[in-house]
Amino acid sequence: MNSFTDFLNPISKQDFLEQYYEKQFFLLERNNIHFYETILNVNDIDKYLSNHDIEYPSVRLVKNGKELDGDLYLKNINYGTAMFEGLVDTDKMFQLYCLGSTIIIQGLDRSNKALGDFCRKLSVELPFTFQSNIYITPNDSKGFESHYDTHDVFVMQIKGKKRWQLFEPNPVTLPTKMEKFDSKRTNISNLKLLKEFDLNVGDLLYIPRGMIHNARSLSEDSIHITLGVFPEKWFDLFRYVANESYQIDEMKYTLPIHSKTSRFDTEIIKRELKKYFDLLLEGDYLDKVLNQFAQDNLRKRKSDDQGRLCDLINLENIKYSTEFILRSNIVYDYYKNNIHCEIRFYSKIIKFPLPVDNTLITILSGKVFSCESLDQILSLESRLVVVKKLLKEGFIKTYDK
């Protein structure tokens, strides 16, 4: 699976964004039980759950809408004078699973390379953060009751099947983290069943945030990947712009106070507010803030550091003929001006003198390169300095044939 379009096939990314994203659910019945095998399979999950160093909340257990108390399946282990706390007791976990509890593995993309690569690949094509949860539900069981999520999700069925119910209308329009589902305030019986269906192995389901849904396993155990989508929203940007407005001197003054009531004068504030909004749009302030906003968004992307230790250990053994390549699915921005050029990725900004520009363009092409094959405007020694710097920072890696 090489792209977001492959993931959504047969519809295109553009069609999905225009017709479904944040608007309506999308169900894709593939009739292909092997579709997700290269991303994650049952053996991968079994191997992970056999580890004895899993800490809460990497694994949680839920049953019939309630999260189980950690005392039922967590333990602490003394280690010399220190202690490992909140470790999953594997045997107790599986006993509870046999009694109808759903095992949830949270953030497996952080430790499983194939799943992590998949999430990073999606983040290259869309400026979103993707996070995975794995739901392992025994037969004839339910993890959560009807609810809505405050983030959009893709559901990828990889074992067995689940019966889903989707309801309308949405009680809250595109809810945020501040508008979490509350069963006491939402009467499910007042909602209309929009669709009921079985999600089979290989199928894909997209549910926009705010849509009430539930799922239940049938006669066989079920495993699915839920891929959470976390984009930046308009209110995130407005909050960011406001938080950075201290950089404007006029914003530092106290709000107007009413001379008679000794309270803030709301009438003056309302009259003056537009002037202060206009200040945010003047000069280069907004450009600077948007630039920083984009940089901070990059910080949320997850890196692929496989092989990085070996690269650092072998740093002094690099030859001019040693081959390298850009790390796969890395999210970055490249800028240059009349003085220098720079690469921005994750929480880093790496600056180089302007003559390095052609060398960096070659590296950013994603093709295999060596110091010998880079732009000859720079000396071999200078090219090696650039390569070592990018290798140390984890932007490139040694090419493994």
pLDDT of 210 > 90? The answer is: yes
Residues 34 and 120 in one domain: yes
Confidence (pLDDT) at 159: 97
Residues 318 and 284 in one domain: no
Average confidence score pLDDT of the chain: 94
Confidence (pLDDT) at 346: 86
Residues 385 and 273 in one domain: no
* Position 96 in a domain: yes
Residue 164: give its domain's CATH number: 2.60.120.650
* Position 303 in a domain: no
pLDDT of 270 > 90? The answer is: yes
Residues 35 and 141 in one domain: yes
Confidence (pLDDT) at 3: 84
Confidence (pLDDT) at 304: 84
Residues 96 and 209 in one domain: yes
Q: Is the model more confident about 268 or about 300?
A: 268
Work out the pLDDT band at 298, boundaries 50, 70, 90.
Answer: confident
Number of domains in the chain: 3
Confidence (pLDDT) at 225: 98
Q: What percent of the chain stands above pLDDT 90?
A: 84
Looking at 200, 230, 260, the residue that finishes a domain is 230
Residues 175 and 203 in one domain: yes
Work out the pLDDT band at 56, boundaries 50, 70, 90.
Answer: very high
Rounded average pLDDT over 59-79: 96
Collect all residues with Cβ–Cβ distance below 8 Å to 85 and sequence separation of at least 6: 55, 76
Query: How do residues 100-137 score in pLDDT, each as one tens digit?
Result: 999 999 999 999 999 999 999 999 899 999 999 999 99
Looking at 276, 298, 320, the residue that finishes a domain is 298
pLDDT of 284 > 90? The answer is: no
Residues 54 and 180 in one domain: yes
Whose tokens are 């201290």? That residue is 246
Going along 240-311, which residue ranges are E strands?
A: none
Q: Is the model more confident about 305 or about 74?
A: 74
Work out the pLDDT band at 295, boundaries 50, 70, 90.
Answer: confident
Confidence (pLDDT) at 296: 87
Q: What percent of the chain stands above pLDDT 70?
A: 100
Confidence (pLDDT) at 84: 93
Residue 389: give its domain's CATH number: 3.90.930.40
Query: How do residues 324-369 score in pLDDT, each as one tens digit?
Result: 999 988 989 999 999 999 999 888 899 999 999 999 999 999 999 9
Cα gap 301→108, rounded to integer Å? 15
Confidence (pLDDT) at 97: 98
Query: How do residues 367-399 score in pLDDT, each as one tens digit?
Result: 999 999 998 899 999 999 999 999 999 999 999
Cα gap 324→367, rounded to integer Å? 9
Confidence (pLDDT) at 343: 95
Q: 83-97 in b/e burial notation, b at 16+ Cβ within 10 A?
A: eeeebbbbeebeebb
Collect all residues with Cβ–Cβ distance below 8 Å to 1 and sequence separation of at least 6: 7, 38, 39, 118, 121
